[in-house]
Amino acid sequence: MAVTQRRGRRIMMTSSELDAFLTAQRTCRVATVSADGRPHVTALWFAWDGTSLWLYSITRSRRWQEMRRDPRIAVVVDAGEEYGDLCGVELSGTAEFIGESPRTGEPCPALEGPERLFARKNFGLDSMPHDGRHAWMRLTPDAVASWDFRKLTAL
Protein backbone atom coordinates (compact mmCIF):
# COMPACT_ATOMS: atom_id res chain seq x y z
CA MET A 1 0.00 0.00 0.00
CA ALA A 2 1.71 3.08 -1.30
CA VAL A 3 0.45 6.17 0.54
CA THR A 4 1.06 6.50 4.26
CA GLN A 5 -1.52 8.12 6.48
CA ARG A 6 -0.46 11.57 7.74
CA ARG A 7 -3.33 12.58 10.00
CA GLY A 8 -4.77 10.62 12.88
CA ARG A 9 -1.64 8.54 13.42
CA ARG A 10 -2.60 7.94 17.05
CA ILE A 11 -5.71 6.05 16.00
CA MET A 12 -4.55 4.45 12.75
CA MET A 13 -4.37 0.67 12.55
CA THR A 14 -1.06 -1.14 12.35
CA SER A 15 -0.50 -3.39 9.33
CA SER A 16 -1.47 -6.48 11.31
CA GLU A 17 -4.58 -4.77 12.77
CA LEU A 18 -5.62 -3.64 9.30
CA ASP A 19 -5.12 -7.13 7.89
CA ALA A 20 -7.13 -8.75 10.71
CA PHE A 21 -9.92 -6.16 10.37
CA LEU A 22 -10.27 -6.57 6.59
CA THR A 23 -10.11 -10.35 6.88
CA ALA A 24 -12.92 -10.40 9.46
CA GLN A 25 -15.32 -7.86 7.94
CA ARG A 26 -17.82 -8.85 5.29
CA THR A 27 -19.39 -5.70 3.83
CA CYS A 28 -17.76 -2.69 2.18
CA ARG A 29 -19.09 0.44 0.54
CA VAL A 30 -17.81 1.12 -2.96
CA ALA A 31 -17.80 4.66 -4.35
CA THR A 32 -17.77 5.12 -8.11
CA VAL A 33 -18.28 8.17 -10.32
CA SER A 34 -21.20 8.41 -12.75
CA ALA A 35 -20.84 9.78 -16.28
CA ASP A 36 -22.14 13.17 -15.11
CA GLY A 37 -19.53 13.30 -12.32
CA ARG A 38 -21.81 12.47 -9.41
CA PRO A 39 -20.66 9.96 -6.80
CA HIS A 40 -22.48 6.66 -6.43
CA VAL A 41 -22.00 4.47 -3.34
CA THR A 42 -23.16 0.87 -2.98
CA ALA A 43 -22.56 -1.99 -0.55
CA LEU A 44 -20.82 -5.21 -1.56
CA TRP A 45 -19.34 -8.27 0.07
CA PHE A 46 -15.61 -8.63 -0.42
CA ALA A 47 -12.57 -10.76 0.28
CA TRP A 48 -9.16 -9.48 1.42
CA ASP A 49 -6.07 -11.47 0.46
CA GLY A 50 -3.55 -9.43 2.46
CA THR A 51 -2.72 -7.15 -0.47
CA SER A 52 -5.86 -6.60 -2.50
CA LEU A 53 -9.58 -6.23 -1.96
CA TRP A 54 -11.61 -8.55 -4.20
CA LEU A 55 -15.09 -7.38 -5.19
CA TYR A 56 -17.72 -9.60 -6.80
CA SER A 57 -20.34 -7.50 -8.57
CA ILE A 58 -23.38 -8.04 -10.75
CA THR A 59 -22.25 -7.08 -14.25
CA ARG A 60 -25.57 -5.45 -15.13
CA SER A 61 -25.36 -3.08 -12.17
CA ARG A 62 -24.86 0.66 -12.36
CA ARG A 63 -21.71 0.19 -10.24
CA TRP A 64 -20.19 -2.22 -12.78
CA GLN A 65 -20.97 0.06 -15.73
CA GLU A 66 -19.47 3.07 -13.95
CA MET A 67 -16.32 1.13 -13.08
CA ARG A 68 -15.96 -0.04 -16.66
CA ARG A 69 -16.12 3.59 -17.79
CA ASP A 70 -13.87 4.91 -15.00
CA PRO A 71 -12.16 2.27 -12.83
CA ARG A 72 -11.03 4.72 -10.12
CA ILE A 73 -12.80 3.81 -6.89
CA ALA A 74 -12.78 4.39 -3.15
CA VAL A 75 -13.91 1.71 -0.71
CA VAL A 76 -14.79 2.02 2.98
CA VAL A 77 -14.99 -0.88 5.40
CA ASP A 78 -16.14 0.18 8.86
CA ALA A 79 -17.59 -1.12 12.10
CA GLY A 80 -18.80 0.11 15.48
CA GLU A 81 -21.93 1.67 16.90
CA GLU A 82 -20.76 3.98 19.67
CA TYR A 83 -18.23 6.76 19.01
CA GLY A 84 -15.51 5.05 21.04
CA ASP A 85 -15.96 1.81 19.10
CA LEU A 86 -15.71 3.21 15.57
CA CYS A 87 -13.02 1.69 13.38
CA GLY A 88 -12.52 1.39 9.68
CA VAL A 89 -10.39 1.59 6.57
CA GLU A 90 -10.64 3.64 3.38
CA LEU A 91 -8.86 2.19 0.36
CA SER A 92 -8.62 3.92 -3.00
CA GLY A 93 -7.11 3.24 -6.37
CA THR A 94 -7.95 1.73 -9.73
CA ALA A 95 -10.00 -1.44 -10.03
CA GLU A 96 -8.80 -4.19 -12.34
CA PHE A 97 -11.24 -6.61 -13.96
CA ILE A 98 -10.13 -10.23 -13.52
CA GLY A 99 -11.54 -13.28 -15.32
CA GLU A 100 -14.45 -13.56 -17.70
CA SER A 101 -17.43 -11.25 -17.47
CA PRO A 102 -19.80 -12.52 -16.32
CA ARG A 103 -17.99 -15.24 -14.41
CA THR A 104 -19.03 -18.77 -15.35
CA GLY A 105 -16.21 -20.67 -13.67
CA GLU A 106 -13.73 -20.95 -16.54
CA PRO A 107 -10.26 -21.80 -15.21
CA CYS A 108 -8.53 -18.62 -14.05
CA PRO A 109 -5.47 -19.11 -11.80
CA ALA A 110 -5.64 -15.49 -10.58
CA LEU A 111 -9.10 -16.17 -9.10
CA GLU A 112 -8.42 -19.49 -7.34
CA GLY A 113 -7.35 -17.90 -4.05
CA PRO A 114 -9.87 -15.03 -3.96
CA GLU A 115 -12.78 -17.31 -4.87
CA ARG A 116 -11.83 -19.78 -2.13
CA LEU A 117 -11.58 -16.92 0.43
CA PHE A 118 -14.86 -15.36 -0.70
CA ALA A 119 -16.78 -18.67 -0.78
CA ARG A 120 -15.63 -19.66 2.72
CA LYS A 121 -16.20 -16.23 4.24
CA ASN A 122 -19.58 -15.46 2.72
CA PHE A 123 -21.18 -18.82 1.89
CA GLY A 124 -19.41 -21.33 4.15
CA LEU A 125 -18.38 -23.28 1.03
CA ASP A 126 -15.02 -24.57 -0.21
CA SER A 127 -15.64 -23.51 -3.81
CA MET A 128 -17.29 -20.55 -5.45
CA PRO A 129 -20.78 -20.96 -6.91
CA HIS A 130 -21.02 -19.16 -10.26
CA ASP A 131 -24.35 -17.76 -11.40
CA GLY A 132 -23.31 -16.20 -14.71
CA ARG A 133 -24.35 -12.74 -13.46
CA HIS A 134 -21.33 -11.61 -11.41
CA ALA A 135 -17.69 -10.88 -12.21
CA TRP A 136 -14.53 -9.99 -10.30
CA MET A 137 -12.67 -6.75 -9.70
CA ARG A 138 -9.45 -6.40 -7.75
CA LEU A 139 -8.47 -3.24 -5.91
CA THR A 140 -4.80 -3.10 -4.96
CA PRO A 141 -4.97 0.25 -3.16
CA ASP A 142 -2.81 3.25 -3.97
CA ALA A 143 -3.84 4.90 -0.70
CA VAL A 144 -5.05 3.58 2.64
CA ALA A 145 -6.34 5.49 5.66
CA SER A 146 -7.53 3.74 8.82
CA TRP A 147 -8.97 4.64 12.19
CA ASP A 148 -9.66 2.80 15.41
CA PHE A 149 -11.27 5.06 18.02
CA ARG A 150 -10.89 2.30 20.61
CA LYS A 151 -7.26 3.44 20.82
CA LEU A 152 -8.41 6.79 22.22
CA THR A 153 -9.19 5.19 25.58
CA ALA A 154 -5.55 4.15 25.86
CA LEU A 155 -4.30 7.71 25.31
Task: Give domain limits for the chain.
Answer: 15-154
Taking 70 as the threshold, does the pLDDT of residue 6 lie above it?
no
pLDDT digits (tens, 9 = 90+) for 107-133: 999 999 999 999 999 999 999 999 999
In a 13 Å sphere around the CA of 122, the CA atoms on its Cβ side amount to: 21
Taking 60 as the threshold, does the pLDDT of residue 5 lie above it?
no
The predicted model scores a pTM of 0.89
Q: To the nearest whole number, what is the mean pLDDT of the chain?
A: 92
Q: Residue 133 CA to chain centroid, in angstroms?
A: 19
Q: Which one is the CATH code of 15-154: 2.60.40.1120, 3.10.180.10, 3.40.980.10, 2.30.110.10?
A: 2.30.110.10
